[in-house]
Structure 1
Amino acid sequence: MKETEVVITLKSLTNLMVQPWPDTQPVAIAPFNSSASNSLISNSVMSNSKPFNSIASGNVLWSQFRSDVNTLTQQLTASKHQRWAICFEDSYFFAVAFMAAAHANRHIILPGNYQPAALAELTPHFDAVLHDGVVDHLTATDIELFTVDAASLSAISDSQTTNSLPFSPLLLNTICLTLFTSGSNGTPKAIDKTLALLDAEIEQLDAVWGGVISNSTITSTVSHQHIYGLLFRVLWPLCSGRAFERLNVIYPEQVIAHANQDTTLISSPALLKRLTEEHVSKPYRAIFSSGGPLSLDAAQHSHNLFEQRPFEVFGSTETGGIGYRQQQDATTPWLLFPAINMMLNAEGCLRLLSPFIDPNNWYQTSDQCACLSERTFMLKGRADRIVKIEEKRISLTEVERRLCDLDWIEEAAVLPLEETNRLILAAVITLSENGKKTIDDLGKGKFWLTLRQALRQSVEPVGVPRRYRAVDEIPLNSQGKRLVRDLEQLFID
């Protein structure tokens, strides 16, 4: 082994700032190196009325990161506020705020997004907000806003009378983090965790994939405000000494422009399925996808573009990661993470014994599965997506699958609707090219009749949707999830 070669090992969140990576090692890198990407981000920034301070920022080394975290830790320690909401566009300043809040032993609150109305709903959960310019104001007058950027950190450092204080090891079980999951109806639900649970998951991720992505740079299309992005985009890279790009990749063209053998892409089905019009690219080191089901077509196209089938990660805010796979065909099973044990309850729903949830107690999910072995399983849908219509139990997931089996339909979202004192099913669909041609040839009325007749070949009559809406894209929230309330809006006449 050459003397200059760096051996990558994983560091725990406990001692990450106590025994950090070398001062000259990069922690975060400037966004969007290509001219095409620069043009796209420039247009995006120019259309945003709020100033964004980190666009002009460049690479940051660990020496600067430690200094910035130390400065902000002292500031938070001196503050009376205990519960801090962290809202950032720049993943570097997000990391500074996260680690500073942890070392100040503050309760970290991660809102799912920082739009004014969404943030206002969550004000009972926090006392103050750290942000990088993405939060203008809050209607709650007792909530204080603190900007964290290069200028503010420099000003705080200059005003502090004490020198940098040495970091102490974190007591991970005592540091609380609250995330939010929207659920199916869009109402934010608080999920409380400790940093010890996240640290256990980081250790598992590195055990499974650390060798695959060693010495690569992390670029991402997903937000660090949710658990998937928090782990894969920020905390795992910090603990493994991998630099991450500071800003989100937003457009398919940027995903293409960033591709190279030394970059790992953290993405979602919502973005990967938009790459179908792209046909020329370079390989990525690895691609990860989570947040929803990835179609086999999208997985195959990713392989054609980047010479990589995405590692799909199955899990939730509540459970953390559960399993993973690389789709080869429609029957590719999920593999349980090594640290987790599973069993099924009487309804065929997955039960987990997981160090990412509670290492001592089993956790019941609503995910219906078929266990193929002790470590592999197939997903069959959610138990909470079973509805009763005219005394018959109908699986919305199964109806969606049968719709997508039809040659006319690309994607489908099925939901129950109350109509004239009875419950019916409705379907929001995207049409294939053949579907668009058929609806033009037949007309809408005859097309919907033909579609229902075809569906009756595989779905019992009460399970056939009575109402349909064809859309260009099925609406998703910032996590790539479908929300019932958004779908219901499409059927308001």
Structure 2
Amino acid sequence: MNIEDCPMTTTHAHNMTPHHTVPFAPLQHLMVASRPDAYPVAFHGQACVTWSTWQADVYHLAEALRQHPAKRWALCFDDSYHFAVAFMAAAHADKHLILPGNHQPEALAELSPHFDALLHDRPHYAQLTCPQWTASALLSEQSPEQRDAPSTAQPVFGELCLSALPLTLFTSGSSGTPKAIEKTLAELAAEVEHHERTWGVTLAGSRIVSTVSHQHIYGLLFRILWPLCAGRVFARQDLVYPEQVIAQAEADTTLVTSPALLKRLSDEQCDRAYRAVYSSGGPLSFDAAQSSQRLFAQWPVEVYGSTETGGIAHRQQTDPQIPWQVFDVIEATVNAERCLRIRSPFVDAGQWYQTSDQCQLLAERQFILQGRVDRVVKIEEKRISLTEVEARLCQLPWVDEAAVLVLEDARRVSLGAVLTLTQEGEAELIRLGKGAFWLALRQALRSWLEPVGIPRRFRVVAEIPLNSQGKRLMRDLEQLF
């Protein structure tokens, strides 16, 4: 893909914000928005992609996609600009967008019944038999004159019918297999417009950096779609390390991050403030909120929601007892089990939706969360199904039964697994010894599970402890660690 130099006030990387802002463009009108050719869209280092190149890239990829009979296209990208081009091109080509959350080869192959073709910027997936396109290779076939001459060949886009454009995301279901979540682009666009009404003035003119993936709904909204519609330049690559987050802090920069990253900043020092800090994906401790305020002069804006629901509520944890504030376009109540029930324009066309999160409803559209009632947990903002981890362990020839639980200590949250072994497993344990056997188990799981979903500690027992009803005795399991 073509990367142009864009105007910067200085050569310093932090001054990559545009000289002036542009009006907000709703998602359905984004590609026909009137913006200067040199207006910055996305950046990496000192270089950024401009509006004219963005329009040309989306147009040419959309034209190619229209020629292809495949309807359901999976998008798997590391580069957020590549992803954004593929997302908008597929939408304008009237395709069904599929966003796998896990790019591990075997996990992606397991999801292959959900898609007909793949757009990506990663090495070739040998496990897949469907067509695979790399967006950058496809666009590089266009000559510079074809791609970068808007004055003579201005791309022409129509208005998107967002309610007719489906999007499938994946999240861990209670059954242990990835659960497909069906949404429409209209639901995402409604949330983007709400966030702009709520926080747009605060973020005006800022650039967006992020530690979270665009493949999941929070990153998709906050680091891709909202910045695009609002005309805020976004970073092409993730920030991975705490020192990168510290180095990017500037008054013209907004950080989109997670509790897992913010918890790792407690020992850092920073003498510059972010414009704003957003956190979502899991509970943020008060200590981590205080660290953010100390480092960046910003209490993180926490956003509570899920893949299924989109955003539900927000808060800034200036005190440990601060409740969640329901977004003003959402109705909220609880069922008989005190689980939150909502009616939102961001899910199911405004029908009532039942969550699995217990809460205490307060006055003035506020609530206090009290925990989930199912077996999907969040570790470092990744949704992990304990049922799936157990199923993957039991697929191995060495494991007869498995019970997986969450282990917490002062430093980290991880998984532990209590196992009963097959005869083959017992023989392998004797042959390899404990240390090598645990390493072999972890290695065998890597084709299926993301790193945070692989148990870090194992215990072998003769039988899994059960009560008289055949239910697992969690206290007995926990005492094994």
Counterpart-to-counterpart distance in 2, 1:306 and 1:257:
11
Counterpart-to-counterpart distance in 1, 2:142 and 2:239:
31
1:80 pairs with 2:69: yes
Counterpart-to-counterpart distance in 2, 1:423 and 1:146:
39
Describe how 1:54-65 pairs up with structure 2 within 5 A.
58-65=47-54
Task: After superposition, give the CA deviation of every residue in 1:5-31 in whole Å (9 maximum; x if it has no partner).
Answer: 845432111111122432221000114
Task: After superposition, give the CA deviation of every residue in 1:402-442 in whole Å (9 maximum; x if it has no partner).
Answer: xxxxxxxxxxx9x899xxxx999966122369xxxxxxxxx
Counterpart-to-counterpart distance in 2, 1:184 and 1:302:
34
The corresponding residue for 1:209 is 199
Does the C-alpha gap of structure 1 residues 183 and 303 become closer, same or farther in structure 2, counting only changes over 3 Å? farther
Q: Is the 8 A contact 2:73 2:97 kept in 1?
A: yes
User: CA RMSD of the aligned region, Å?
Assistant: 3.4
1:148 pairs with 2:127: no
The corresponding residue for 1:335 is 325
Describe how 1:277-292 pairs up with structure 2 within 5 A.
277-292=267-282
Matched residue of 1:277: which SS? coil
The corresponding residue for 1:136 is 124
- Among candidates 104, 108, 112, match of residue 123 of structure 1: 112
Q: CA deviation at 1:117?
A: 1.4
1:13 pairs with 2:27: yes
Matched residue of 1:173: which SS? helix
1:196 pairs with 2:186: yes
Q: Is the 8 A contact 1:27 1:241 kept in 2?
A: yes
Describe how 1:184-333 pairs up with structure 2 within 5 A.
187-333=177-323
The corresponding residue for 2:407 is 428
Q: Is the 8 A contact 2:21 2:204 kept in 1?
A: no
Q: Which moved more, 1:224-233 or 1:22-31?
A: 22-31
The corresponding residue for 1:465 is none
Matched residue of 2:86: which SS? helix
Amino acid at match of 2:266: T
Does the C-alpha gap of structure 1 residues 311 and 482 become closer, same or farther in structure 2, counting only changes over 3 Å? farther
Matched residues, number:
391
1:364 pairs with 2:354: yes
Counterpart-to-counterpart distance in 1, 2:408 and 2:19:
53
Amino acid at match of 1:145: Q
TM-score by length of 2: 0.74
Percent pairwise identity: 52
Q: CA deviation at 1:344?
A: 1.0
Q: Is the 8 A contact 2:309 2:346 kept in 1?
A: yes
- Among candidates 96, 100, 103, match of residue 89 of structure 2: 100
Task: After superposition, give the CA deviation of every residue in 1:324-378 in whole Å (9 maximum; x if it has no partner).
Answer: 0010122110000111011111111111010000344211111111111141111
Counterpart-to-counterpart distance in 1, 2:200 and 2:92:
26
Q: Is the 8 A contact 2:24 2:229 kept in 1?
A: yes
Q: CA deviation at 1:130?
A: 0.8
Q: CA deviation at 1:182?
A: 2.2
Q: Is the 8 A contact 1:120 1:138 kept in 2?
A: no
Counterpart-to-counterpart distance in 2, 1:7 and 1:432:
43
Does the C-alpha gap of structure 1 residues 79 and 377 become closer, same or farther in structure 2, counting only changes over 3 Å? same
Counterpart-to-counterpart distance in 1, 2:76 and 2:411:
39
Q: CA deviation at 1:156?
A: 3.9
Task: After superposition, give the CA deviation of every residue in 1:81-100 in whole Å (9 maximum; x if it has no partner).
Answer: 11111111111111110000
Task: After superposition, give the CA deviation of every residue in 1:438-465 in whole Å (9 maximum; x if it has no partner).
Answer: xxxxxxxxxxxxxxxxxxxxxxxxxxxx
Matched residue of 2:29: which SS? coil
Does the C-alpha gap of structure 1 residues 152 and 351 become closer, same or farther in structure 2, counting only changes over 3 Å? same
Q: Is the 8 A contact 1:71 1:157 kept in 2?
A: no
1:69 pairs with 2:55: no
Counterpart-to-counterpart distance in 1, 2:343 and 2:127:
42
Matched residue of 2:187: which SS? helix
Counterpart-to-counterpart distance in 1, 2:206 and 2:40:
12
Q: Is the 8 A contact 1:264 1:285 kept in 2?
A: yes
Describe how 1:468-483 pairs up with structure 2 within 5 A.
none
Q: Is the 8 A contact 1:114 1:135 kept in 2?
A: no
Counterpart-to-counterpart distance in 2, 1:209 and 1:259:
19
Counterpart-to-counterpart distance in 1, 2:360 and 2:188:
28
The corresponding residue for 1:111 is 100
Counterpart-to-counterpart distance in 1, 2:172 and 2:223:
21
Amino acid at match of 1:106: K
The corresponding residue for 1:376 is 366
Counterpart-to-counterpart distance in 2, 1:492 and 1:250:
35
Q: CA deviation at 1:154?
A: 3.1
Does the C-alpha gap of structure 1 residues 77 and 258 become closer, same or farther in structure 2, counting only changes over 3 Å? same
Matched residue of 2:202: which SS? coil
Does the C-alpha gap of structure 1 residues 244 and 427 become closer, same or farther in structure 2, counting only changes over 3 Å? closer
Q: Is the 8 A contact 2:21 2:205 kept in 1?
A: no
Q: Is the 8 A contact 1:341 1:352 kept in 2?
A: yes
Counterpart-to-counterpart distance in 2, 1:280 and 1:378:
32
The corresponding residue for 2:335 is 345
Does the C-alpha gap of structure 1 residues 120 and 175 become closer, same or farther in structure 2, counting only changes over 3 Å? same
TM-score by length of 1: 0.73
Q: Which moved more, 1:375-384 or 1:96-105?
A: 375-384
Counterpart-to-counterpart distance in 2, 1:137 and 1:385:
31
Amino acid at match of 2:278: F
Stretches of structure 2 that go unaligned for 5 or more consecutive residues are 1-17, 379-383, 391-400, 413-445, 462-481
Counterpart-to-counterpart distance in 1, 2:403 and 2:120:
45
Q: CA deviation at 1:121?
A: 1.1
The corresponding residue for 1:53 is none
Q: Is the 8 A contact 1:70 1:164 kept in 2?
A: no
Q: CA deviation at 1:492?
A: 4.6
Q: Is the 8 A contact 1:116 1:135 kept in 2?
A: no
1:29 pairs with 2:16: no
